[in-house]
Structure 1
Amino acid sequence: MTAPTLQQVTSCLSDYDPDALPVRDAQRIIGNFVTPVAEVEQLTLLDALGRVLADDIISPISVPAHDNSAMDGYALRAADLDPAAPTTLAVIATVYAGRPSDAVPAAGQCVRIMTGGVMPAGCDCVIPQEHVASISDESITIDAGVIRSGDNRRFAGEDLMAGSAALKAGRTIRPADLGLLASLGIASVPVRRRLRVAFFSTGDELRSIGQPLDAGCVYDSNRYTLFGMLSRLGCEVIDMGIVRDDPQALEDALRSACARADAIVTSGGVSVGAADYTRDIMAKMGDVTFWKIGMRPGRPLAFGRIAADGESAFLFGLPGNPVAVMVSFYFFARAALLRMMGTEAPQLLLKVRSAAAIRKKPGRTEYQRGILTCGADGEQEVRITGSQGSGILRSMVEANCMVVLHDEQGNVAAGDLVEVLLFEGLV
């Protein structure tokens, strides 16, 4: 099946204007354009943490395999209990986890049982040892109304039935998933190949750490934030350093990235003031569009797919300002890269009250750095970190969330509810 072109994807949008594109439209276009990597590999459980499942995992067994006890106590039949007075039952056997017993209690009898022990035939509940009124080696006495049928009994297959999907394709494997798979006796799972992402910064003014900082130059911080954000996604990261403002250097870098990566993330060189050759080279190499997004910070964005020497890669050209590159990554590139990995970005937005008024003009989406705390009444509230300039990276360090103010939204009054994107699990 032939992949769609950007023109085909954007034709589905009414009033498409690359010079005034709403955030939600840009996100929809990117999501509809990228495709997951196709290659699959089989990994042992200990190597599969953080990887994306390529197929459903079907349980070969039921969990638990038998009805069993959820407590250390005594297995019995609730019908034997007197609802109005204490009941004494004879103890005829002891059942341990992993050692089923053939004992079948008759009327007026019970079995001592340990957590995980298989329920004896006819028994329908377990009374915890600490709830028994009196205990001897031969019998127990239970007060009226202490236990009911079904209490403290785990049913066969109540966790998972044989033949059902234990885990669905597209799931990123977490520690609990490893335990579940191990409980099913599954030693290895099919996962998507790790996504390869190349990234580099552009600009003659950039210097790497350790180099002299000449007049008018700055150290390249974007290289490190991009490395961190990509690493947190679980990508195979290809650091291509700094590319100077030179047409041949840029083309060489993009060709090299195409040969090595599934996606390319660049920072800088896509704003209005960028040299014309940036657009020319990217357009020459593939299907790329340049957008002016209705957002702050991070208005300029390039996106598409480029090809060289028979290889292709999706391209995300992010702005150069330190905060703008992070915001653009989180709200555009991150979800697309996760989709390429075979999964979907988790929903991390929640609504909380604003601790103070926030100025906002309708017509664009704003992302403001925020600090989420508990107010005096115990309810969550958020306040912005102060100056929101796109070059103030320290504001991202101080923040623990991003306040998302949508394009149709205007000024926010103190106490109004606003959406926030939590950084925990994201950064």
Structure 2
Amino acid sequence: MSSAAPRTTGQDHLWSVDEHLEDILATVRPLEPIELQLLDAQGCVLVDDVTVPVSLPPFDNSSMDGYAVRVADVAGASEEFPAVLEVVGDVAAGQAELLQVGPGQAARIMTGAPLPPGAEAVVPVEWTDGGLGAGPVTGMRARSLAPEGAEGQVHVYRPAEARAHVRAKGSDVKAGDRALEAGTVLGPPQIALLAAIGRGTVRVRPRPRVVVMSTGSELVQPDEELRNGQIYDSNSFALTAAARDAGAIAYRVGAVADDAETLRSAIEDQLVRADLMVTTGGVSVGAYDVVKEALESVADEDEAGSGIDFRKLAMQPGKPQGFGSIGPDHTPLLALPGNPVSSYVSFEVFVRPAIRTLMGLDDVHRPRTTATLTADKALTSPKGRRQFLRGTYAEGTVTPVGGAGSHLVAALAHADALIVVPEDVETVEPGTAVEVVLLG
């Protein structure tokens, strides 16, 4: 899950974004593979290549309801001069024993049924009289064939080329082909393919279990009454949703009051179901920042190698950060700042890559691109800090949304990108090319 605690340095050291992220990704390790039933493996990452044991489809079969015929017997057929064939029986989907279609014969065949020996093509029922001797089947009559088991003749009014309306054996995938590569995230289409080739279980890395906990005595839950000095807890909802969006199984813990013993107890209780813990709030230098106190007390009782390092990063928003591991299993913990935008940006920059690393993915980062800045005025950024501004991206351009304040939740709700302003840039003029992290 994780290795030893992260490196530490002097209290006044200002970490770069890249240094902090590198430390996280060097500490977090992919989860151990397990064998899961197909539906339980949804959203998980495949560990091994999967080879096709049997071709799909496994036999030549009909793509239409109709009649299996020999090409020569329907050559030149028309409505004026139909081919009249003897119906030798029915071929249904799943039928094991097949009829033999000889010269001048046809077999009623259902969609998905195996092409019987001797037949070379399938003529749709709409090209026939349906075995009823009443002209081409149209309208509602096109939806049904002659009564099951009825024998007799069928009139065919159009010719058919060889293999017409026949799905060839192996036309989807052939035995021995690689169905899925290791590293594939299993979604509904991939699970369908695994089931189609007969795989009931698959070896995957499980989805990480992420516990999200917000801290602060001022926080109350949505739908509760706000009293003077209180605010609603949005961070735990935002980060839990973000963790699920990243591929994790996420558990939200209600806001914990600013009491070190209460917080410590809550953290210890949650460790049993956590592959990664995320806290938000209480990591700056204020007098009431009890997260530090609680985490340090948890680490003091843990095995050697555990511990949380609280840092100052050269970024805006999100300067205060904490990272390390706690508990007997050295569970990784990321402590994020409490301002909503700081919290969310920190998640995207640091927590999401950690979750994707636990999943065993090679590419753990959001896609990035270059876009032209469209704005009414130049953007400003503090010297020496990497700034992440909210924006909307469209057709190679990006427009800032809201200001730089780390409390502007409404602006965040309308953003689908982060505009990245490097540490050595203090002003970005409209029309300038900027780096953009795509959130959608």
Q: TM-score, normalised by structure 2?
A: 0.69
Deviation, 1:392, is 0.8
1:158 is the counterpart of 2:158:
no
- Name which of structure 1's ranges 218-227 and 165-174 shifts more when overlaid on structure 2: 165-174
Deviation, 1:367, is 2.9
Paired residue for 2:422? 407
SS at match of 2:20: helix
Paired residue for 2:142? none
* Bigger CA radius of gyration: 2
Paired residue for 1:3? 3
Q: Identity rate of aligned residues, in percent? A: 34
Q: 1:322 corresponds to which letter in structure 2?
A: P
Question: In the alignment, which of 2, 10, 14 is matched to residue 19 of structure 1?
Answer: 14
Deviation, 1:222, is 1.6
Distance 1:416 1:198, change over 3 A: closer
Deviation, 1:253, is 4.0
Q: Provide the rounded CA distance (Å) in 1 between the counterparts of 2:23 and 2:274.
A: 21
Paired residue for 1:323? 341
Q: Provide the rounded CA distance (Å) in 1 between the counterparts of 2:308 and 2:49.
A: 35
Distance 1:345 1:271, change over 3 A: farther
1:419 is the counterpart of 2:436:
yes
1:367 is the counterpart of 2:367:
no
Q: TM-score, normalised by structure 1?
A: 0.71
Q: Any conservation in 2 of the 1:353–1:380 contact (CA below 8 Å)?
A: yes
Distance 1:105 1:274, change over 3 A: farther
SS at match of 2:428: coil
Q: Any conservation in 2 of the 1:262–1:312 contact (CA below 8 Å)?
A: no
Deviation, 1:355, is 6.8
Deviation, 1:21, is 1.1
Distance 1:77 1:330, change over 3 A: farther
Q: 1:337 corresponds to which letter in structure 2?
A: I
Paired residue for 1:218? 231
- Name which of structure 1's ranges 52-61 and 28-37 shifts more when overlaid on structure 2: 52-61
Distance 1:90 1:392, change over 3 A: same
Deviation, 1:315, is 0.7
Paired residue for 1:66? 59
Paired residue for 1:297? 317
SS at match of 2:256: strand
Q: Provide the rounded CA distance (Å) in 2 between the counterparts of 1:415 and 1:113.
A: 65
Paired residue for 1:387? 403
Q: What does residue range 5-404 of structure 1 map to in structure 2 within 5 Å?
A: 5-7=5-7, 19-23=14-18, 25-38=19-32, 40=34, 42-43=36-37, 45-53=38-46, 59-71=52-64, 96-99=92-95, 101-103=98-100, 115-119=111-115, 137-142=154-159, 153-162=166-175, 166-168=179-181, 170-189=183-202, 192=205, 195-208=208-221, 210=224, 213-215=227-229, 217-232=230-245, 233-237=247-251, 239=253, 241-244=255-258, 246=260, 248-273=261-286, 279=292, 281-282=295-296, 284=300, 286-307=306-327, 310-343=328-361, 349=367, 351=369, 353-354=371-372, 356-357=374-375, 359=379, 361=381, 364-372=385-393, 379=395, 381-399=397-415, 401-404=416-419
Q: Any conservation in 1 of the 2:6–2:323 contact (CA below 8 Å)?
A: no
Q: Any conservation in 1 of the 2:339–2:406 contact (CA below 8 Å)?
A: yes
Deviation, 1:388, is 3.5
Q: Any conservation in 1 of the 2:401–2:414 contact (CA below 8 Å)?
A: yes
Q: Provide the rounded CA distance (Å) in 2 between the counterparts of 1:91 and 1:355.
A: 71
Q: Any conservation in 1 of the 2:210–2:248 contact (CA below 8 Å)?
A: no
Deviations 1:339-376 (A, max 9, x none): 32444667653647547136255865433323345xxx
Distance 1:170 1:4, change over 3 A: farther
Deviation, 1:420, is 4.3
Deviation, 1:225, is 1.9
Paired residue for 2:150? none
Distance 1:262 1:350, change over 3 A: closer
Q: Provide the rounded CA distance (Å) in 2 between the counterparts of 1:56 and 1:191.
A: 11
Q: 1:116 corresponds to which letter in structure 2?
A: G
Distance 1:386 1:173, change over 3 A: same
Q: Provide the rounded CA distance (Å) in 1 between the counterparts of 2:26 and 2:154.
A: 70
Distance 1:225 1:238, change over 3 A: closer
Distance 1:349 1:236, change over 3 A: closer
Deviation, 1:394, is 1.1
Q: 1:421 corresponds to which letter in structure 2?
A: L
Q: Any conservation in 2 of the 1:51–1:194 contact (CA below 8 Å)?
A: yes
Q: Any conservation in 1 of the 2:5–2:308 contact (CA below 8 Å)?
A: no
Aligned residues: 397
Distance 1:212 1:114, change over 3 A: closer
Distance 1:117 1:109, change over 3 A: same
Q: 1:419 corresponds to which letter in structure 2?
A: V
Q: Provide the rounded CA distance (Å) in 2 between the counterparts of 1:369 and 1:124.
A: 62
Q: 2:54 corresponds to which letter in structure 1?
A: I
Q: Provide the rounded CA distance (Å) in 1 between the counterparts of 2:387 and 2:163.
A: 54
SS at match of 2:171: coil
